[in-house]
Amino acid sequence: MRLVVHVVVLMSLLQWIVPLEANGQSYPARPIRLVVPFPPGGTIDIVGRILADKLGERVGRSVVVDNRGGAGGVVGANVVAKAAPDGYTLLLCSGSTLVTSQLLLQNLPYDSRRDFEPVTVVLSVPYLLLVRPTGGFASVKDLIAQAKQRPGEINFASAGTGSASHLSALLFISRVGIQAAHVPYKGSTQAIAEMVGGGQTHFIFEAMAAGVQYARSGRLRALGLTSLRRSALVPDVPTFTEAGVPGFEMSTWHAICAPSGTPAPIVDKLNAEIVAAINVPENRDRLTGIGAELVGSTREQMRQRIEQEFLRWEKLIREMGLREQR
């Protein structure tokens, strides 16, 4: 009899606790897991740890980074897609996780539009167009002109087929009407090393966070920046608009997602706290110091960005025949 009474009391308490959490009033009541779908040490991991530290301070609970690398971010994303929609498992996602993987890969284990709840776009990172200092290209216009004069002789490196650096180059090639052969590598580190070592590739699009060190040191020459405004990190590098390709803009962006079905009050609270966390002066300095442009979007702005990115890349991927065949 006493056991029955205890069960009834417990069930009564749960009737109050669950609605409170769903309304965001008691959230978070325990640590939050932030899944970073790449190995430790890379740019996205650095961003995740900066964010986790300050977010944990703001909500009064630890935010634990859980690195789940594999398959270009698919493994970690799938962990979150299948997690309970309670706000305690979040994903540090990207444009590749939510958009290009969906367009490129057959049999993806999740549907990015169906299985994730947008929280906020945290930041974006523009790209640098890099060439070898001895490669004979003085500017973006010069590269375009030589590529048109020497069809079939110019090639470009990338971090791999379907990577952001690959798609950036294809977007550029399509926009300016040149031909260039693709030389994929196993990651940007290998691709950059080949260029620095004097290999046969002529140019590469590399995210500012990694590429800026090569531009500053002179090991590679930066011809253009894919942002709409110049960066204080490389103030002498023109934007593509300034370099003769009006309106050309490209960035990789990182965002926070929750599993689909996470209660709206919890998502709203996460949005507010994450936006506040990235705008703490210390975090602003650390993130802009690696070439990032802080965003801190609303949930709806993130949803709109995802749809815009689908429109942007679907046509290019189809035209280039990049979708995985199985």
Q: Copy the structure tokens of residue 65.
A: 């980074």
**DSSP E strand stretches across 45-94:** 63-67, 89-94
Q: What is the pLDDT of residue 12?
A: 54
Rounded to whole angstroms, what are the CA distances from 268 to 29, 159, 273?
A: 16, 36, 9
Q: What is the residue whose two structure tokens read 């004979």?
A: 136
Domains of the chain from N-terminus onward: 32-125+252-320 (3.40.190.150), 134-225 (3.40.190.10)
DSSP state of 326: -
Spell out a b/e string for 271-294, using b for 16 or more CB atoms within 10 Å of the CB, else e. bebbbebbeeeebeebbeebbbbe
Q: What is the pLDDT of residue 200?
A: 86
Dist CA 218 CA 230 (whole Å) = 18
Partners of 65 in the beta sheet? 34
> Is this structure's pTM higher than 0.75?
yes
pLDDT tens by residue, 216-228: 999 999 999 999 9
Rounded to whole angstroms, what are the CA distances from 16 to 5, 9, 21?
A: 17, 11, 9
pLDDT tens by residue, 137-187: 999 999 999 999 998 899 999 988 888 899 999 999 999 999 999 999 988
User: Over its length of 326 residues, how does the chain's per-residue pLDDT go in tens digits?
Assistant: 554 445 444 555 555 444 555 666 789 999 999 999 988 887 889 899 999 999 999 999 999 999 998 888 899 999 999 999 999 999 999 998 899 999 999 889 999 999 999 999 999 999 999 999 988 999 999 999 999 999 889 999 998 888 889 999 999 999 999 999 999 998 888 999 999 988 889 999 999 988 999 999 999 999 999 999 999 999 999 999 999 999 999 999 999 999 999 999 999 999 999 999 999 999 999 999 888 999 999 999 999 999 999 999 998 998 888 876 43
